[in-house]
């Protein structure tokens, strides 16, 4: 079966053939999946899953964060974040405390063991990023980061109800 799609860059009425290996959304997801899989090895060595690492990274970056804000900062749904937080608490990596002004809000922070795990994985993750980005010339890396920002913004805008 041939799938055709229309692009603004083609002449009106013209059709292009969808070639998956040339389809940017597919390639971005595939790249992200490959990168995430390689990094997951470091998480496994620390007995951490990918969702748990994402939660740990958000908390580690912010020092203290409301549980609901972790959902906003990651590409994970509320239930996945909730399970990851519960697991991290059980492992002794994350502490939960009520917000000082609103007791309905849980504030998350890293326990000392969680900070140690975060520091070790962050060091590996940054070394991995350095190695990955070393494939690009500095100008290419800057252009890549700019292109990512533009694509992320466009994707966010397209996700909004107008």
What is the pLDDT, as a whole number, of residue 6?
47
Report the C-alpha gap between 101 and 54 in whole angstroms. Answer: 26
Mean pLDDT of 131-138: 95
CATH code assigned to 48-130? 1.10.10.10
Q: Specify whether the CB–CB gap between 6 and 18 falls below 8 A.
A: no
Tens-digit pLDDT profile for residues 84-110: 999 999 999 999 988 888 777 889 999
> What pLDDT does 95 receive?
95
> Measuring CA to CA, which residue among 121, 118, 137 is closest to residue 145?
137
Residue 94's DSSP bridge partners are: 110
pLDDT tens column, 30-86: 998 898 888 888 788 888 998 999 999 999 999 889 988 998 898 889 999 999 999
Query: Is the pLDDT confidence value at 138 over 90?
Result: yes
Spatial contact of 42 and 124, defined as CB atoms under 8 Å apart: yes
Reported confidence tier of residue 149, pLDDT bands at 50, 70, 90:
very high
Per-residue pLDDT tens over the stretch 115-132: 999 999 999 999 999 999
Angle between helices 50-62 and 24-45 (to 10 degrees): 80
Burial of 96-132, coded b for 16+ CB within 10 Å and e otherwise, reads eeeeeeeeeeebbbbeeebbebbeebbebeeeeeeee
Average pLDDT over residues 15-29: 91
* Predicted TM-score of the model (pTM): 0.78
Measured distance between the N- and C-terminal CA atoms of the chain, rounded to whole angstroms = 34
Question: Quick one: tokens of 112?
Answer: 């000392």
Residue ranges covered by each domain of the chain: 48-130
Distance, CA of 115 to CA of 110 (rounded, Å):
6
């Amino acid at each position: 079966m041939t799938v055709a799609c229309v692009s603004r860059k083609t002449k009106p009425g013209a059709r292009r053939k969808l070639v998956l290996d040339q389809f940017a959304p597919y390639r971005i997801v595939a790249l992200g999946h490959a990168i995430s899989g390689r990094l997951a090895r470091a998480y496994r060595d620390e007995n951490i899953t990918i969702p748990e690492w994402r939660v740990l990274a958000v908390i580690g970056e912010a020092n203290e964060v409301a549980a609901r804000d972790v959902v906003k900062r990651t590409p994970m749904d509320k239930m996945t974040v909730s399970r990851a937080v519960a697991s991290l608490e059980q492992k002794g990596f994350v502490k939960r405390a009520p917000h000082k002004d609103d007791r309905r809000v849980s504030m998350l922070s890293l326990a000392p063991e969680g900070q140690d795990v975060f520091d070790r994985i962050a060091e590996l993750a940054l070394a991995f990023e350095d190695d990955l980005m070393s494939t690009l010339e500095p100008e290419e890396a800057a252009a890549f980061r700019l292109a990512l920002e533009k694509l992320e913004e466009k994707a966010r805008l397209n996700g909004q109800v107008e």
